[in-house]
């Protein structure tokens, strides 16, 4: 199948390209490179452009005859969304509306959408299942929840079929070391700890050691990026086989604390991670863990890298490369 991957130059999108190419799919990438890297696009046709550009979308759909779309293109920084909500609604919501309209015009009716656990807001209970109330507490989460409702409307009006995948904490890197995580600025715990271990950062800030958890630090559900990509591939197969539209959480179902992550980084790297303790950040829940049983049941998805040490080991393999060589 020929697939349009929107946002394919980013962290998860670039790993997805490698998996799609490895399974025989032909891929076209649309990315404006606002957060992605051109060098991360391998074994795919690359088109630089914005998802909101109607003329470019029409040209792409007319030229390639796509069988499906995978949509990774979104701004995703919570703090930034609080400072500049308009940027998030314009890019995430309006951009997706333009993409959906193009799919309708060109009669492409399969969509795999990259969503987030941020749609749930403050957890009322854990593990969090798909029926947990959707009460996002920031514009980023609200933009993703708006998109989900919008996609449902397009299904009812136009027969669009979709799978929406709600990630918890994407982590790790390509096990073969070709791709990894490289954001500017970096905000994710594992790469930040790696940078301290590698001497590229002086210290790691830990926000809160007084949570009601075993060691007092926050607990999160980390999912290996390759496992996330495999879920997208299974979701595509689900739609091709005539499966119903659906929404699925992606997580390992067990959490690791901030301190456990630091311990794993020190264990894998053999280096000390200097920590500076800070007060809690407003809105940080003590524990966020996924109930991903529906993805296992409906899609046949099973994480192959559920161990924290595997996630950290692959991330360290990537970190040890020269920063000039890091491409995703």
Q: In whole numbers, what is the pLDDT of the chain averaged over residues?
A: 94
Give the confidence band of 325 by pLDDT, cuts at 50, 70, 90: very low
Q: Give yes or no: 140 in active site.
A: yes
Where do the CATH 3.90.25.10 domains begin and end in the chain?
Answer: 189-220+253-325
Q: How far apart are CA 121 and CA 5, in angstroms?
A: 28
Tell me, what's the pLDDT at 297?
97
User: Do 48 and 32 touch, CB atoms closer than 8 A?
Assistant: yes
| Domain 2-171+223-250 sits in CATH 3.90.1330.10 | no
For the chain, give me the number of helices (H) and strands (E)? 11, 14
Q: CA 152 to CA 146: how far, in whole Å?
A: 10
Structure confidence at residue 322 (pLDDT): 54
**189-220+253-325: which CATH topology?**
UDP-galactose 4-epimerase; domain 1 (3.90.25)
- Examine the pLDDT at 165 and tell me if it is beyond 70: yes
Q: pLDDT tens across 75-118, in order?
A: 998 889 999 999 999 999 999 999 999 999 999 999 999 999 99
Confidence of residue 327 (pLDDT cuts 50, 70, 90): very low
Confidence of residue 328 (pLDDT cuts 50, 70, 90): very low
Tell me the pTM. 0.94
Q: Contact 12/225 with Cβ under 8 angstroms?
A: yes
| Residue 19, CA distances (Å) to 12, 27, 35, 179, 214 in order | 11, 11, 21, 12, 37
Beta strands in the chain (DSSP E): 2-6, 26-31, 45-48, 68-71, 110-116, 161-167, 169-171, 204-207, 219-220, 222-224, 246-250, 256-257, 275-278, 287-288
| 180-200 residue pLDDT tens | 888 778 889 999 999 999 999
Residues of the chain with CATH 3.40.50.720: 2-171+223-250
Contact (Cβ atoms closer than 8 angstroms) between residue 228 and residue 303:
no
Name, in order, each residue with C-beta under 8 angstroms of 84's C-beta and a sequence gap of 6 or more.
none
- Per-residue model confidence (pLDDT) at position 187: 84
The pLDDT tens digits for 281-319 are 877 888 999 999 999 999 999 999 999 999 999 999 998
Out of 11, 88, 120, 140, the active site residue is 140
Share of the chain above pLDDT 70, in %: 98
Q: Say whether the peptide bond before residue 240 is cis (omega within 30 degrees of 0).
A: no
Q: What is the pLDDT of residues 126-160, one digit of tens each?
A: 999 999 999 999 999 999 999 999 999 999 999 99
């Amino acid at each position: 199948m020929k697939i349009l991957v929107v946002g394919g130059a980013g962290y998860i999108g670039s790993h997805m390209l490698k998996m799609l190419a490895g399974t025989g799919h032909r891929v076209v990438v649309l990315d404006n490179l606002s957060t992605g890297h051109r060098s991360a696009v391998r074994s795919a046709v690359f088109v630089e452009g914005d998802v909101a550009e109607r003329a470019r979308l029409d040209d792409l759909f007319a030229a390639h005859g796509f069988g499906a779309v995978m949509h990774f293109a979104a701004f995703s920084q919570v703090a930034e969304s609080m400072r500049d909500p308009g940027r998030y609604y314009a890019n995430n919501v309006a951009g997706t509306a333009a993409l959906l309209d193009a799919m309708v015009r060109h009669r492409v009716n399969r969509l795999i959408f990259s969503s987030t656990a941020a749609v749930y807001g403050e957890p009322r209970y854990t593990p969090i299942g798909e029926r947990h109330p959707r009460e996002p507490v920031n514009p980023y989460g609200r933009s993703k929840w708006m998109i989900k409702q919008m996609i449902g409307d397009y299904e009812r009006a136009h027969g669009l079929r979709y799978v929406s995948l709600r990630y918890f904490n994407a982590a790790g890197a390509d096990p073969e070391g070709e791709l990894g995580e490289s954001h500017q600025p970096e905000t994710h715990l594992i790469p930040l700890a790696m940078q301290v271990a590698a001497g590229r950062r002086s210290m790691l800030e830990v926000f809160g050691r007084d949570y009601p958890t075993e060691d007092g630090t926050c607990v999160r559900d980390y999912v290996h990026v390759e496992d996330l990509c495999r879920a997208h591939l299974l979701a595509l197969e689900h739609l091709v086989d005539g499966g119903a539209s659906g929404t699925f959480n992606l997580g390992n179902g067990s959490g690791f604390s901030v301190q456990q992550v630091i311990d794993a980084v020190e264990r894998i790297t053999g280096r000390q991670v200097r920590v500076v303790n800070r007060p809690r950040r407003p809105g940080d829940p003590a524990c966020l863990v996924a109930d991903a049983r529906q993805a296992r049941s409906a899609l046949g998805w099973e994480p192959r890298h559920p161990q924290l040490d595997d996630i950290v080991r692959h991330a360290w393999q990537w970190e040890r490369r020269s920063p000039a060589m890091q491409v995703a």
